[in-house]
Amino acid sequence: MDNLVIVSLDHKAHQRCREIHRHCYAMATPGVNFTGDAFFMTEEYLLMMWRRIDFLASVLRHGFDFVFTDADILWFRNPFPHFHDDADFQIACDTYLGSASDRHNIPNGGFVYARSNHRTLHFYKYWYNSKDRFPGKHDQDVFNEIKFDPFLDGLRMRFLDTAYFGGFCQPVKDLNVAITMHANCCVGLQTKVHDLRNVLDDWKRFAKFPMEERSGVSFDWRSPRVRCR
């Protein structure tokens, strides 16, 4: 937990973070109030997403590698043994097509592992500046636009297999290897919370089985079959 930094976007969230965790960072955005919900693709949402990219770029500039995770992602296991050793930048997927190096995969910026080096620094700067080329699009859509650019040919980019790093778009099928579950392809805070609670309850029931019995357990998630569907 000493390596976990919680990023808060408003004063109330920051106060709550300080109550439960040692490392909190208030990510202020001048002239913008993120106290309320920033609904998908509204102006506030787009500003928040691009402020996030700018913040992550600053982490890399300070020389830190990072794993970025959205708040609507459950972690079940240590992800590091399943990261690609040869990658500068690796990202989760909404849709995984079978190859970690296939740039046709549909990425999701909610879960990213980036190493601090000159390639990722140039990439994040290019990504952020590309928002002006594609006005009205969020960071994930712009990433899809630029991922084939020759400028990024030197970047060692990998996409994470949804067989391990799953989400509601493509859920992990085998709980014995599940690492994360993301409430993607699901809109609305209460909707996400409802189905993520189901996922967590499912995981707790699975975890009660002895280790030697888990491989033979026929088990499936209840979500996304409830609110998120």
Of 106-110, 164-168, 177-181, 186-190, least confident by mean pLDDT is 186-190
H or E element, residue 120: helix 118-129
Given this model, what pLDDT does residue 80 score?
96
Is residue 60 within 8 A of residue 121, CB to CB? The reply is yes
Report residue 44 as tokens: 């506030």
Count of other CB atoms within 10 angstroms of residue 110: 20
d(CA 222, CA 202): 7
Q: What is the pTM for the complete model shown?
A: 0.90
Query: What CA–CA distance (Å, rounded) separates 143 from 131?
Result: 9
Task: Identify residue 185 by its one-letter amino acid code.
Answer: C
For residue 116, the model assigns a pLDDT of 98
Query: Dihedral sign, CA of 119, 121, 122, 123?
Result: positive
Give me the percent of the chain exceeding a pLDDT of 90: 69
Q: What pLDDT, on the 0 to 100 scale, is given for residue 220?
A: 78
- pLDDT single digits (tens) 53-83: 999 999 999 999 999 999 999 999 999 999 9
Is residue 201 within 8 Å of 223, Cβ to Cβ? no
* Residue-level pLDDT at 42: 66
Q: Check whether 35 has a pLDDT greater than 60.
A: no
**What residue ranges do the domains of the chain occupy?**
62-229
Structure tokens at 206: 């699975």
Q: How far apart are CA 12 and CA 32, in angstroms?
A: 15
> Which residues does 49 contact at the CB level (< 8 Å), separation at least 6?
109, 138, 139, 140
Q: What share of the chain is helix, strand, coil (3-state, %, to 5)?
A: 35, 15, 50
Domain 62-229: top CATH class: alpha beta
**pLDDT recorded at residue 40:** 53
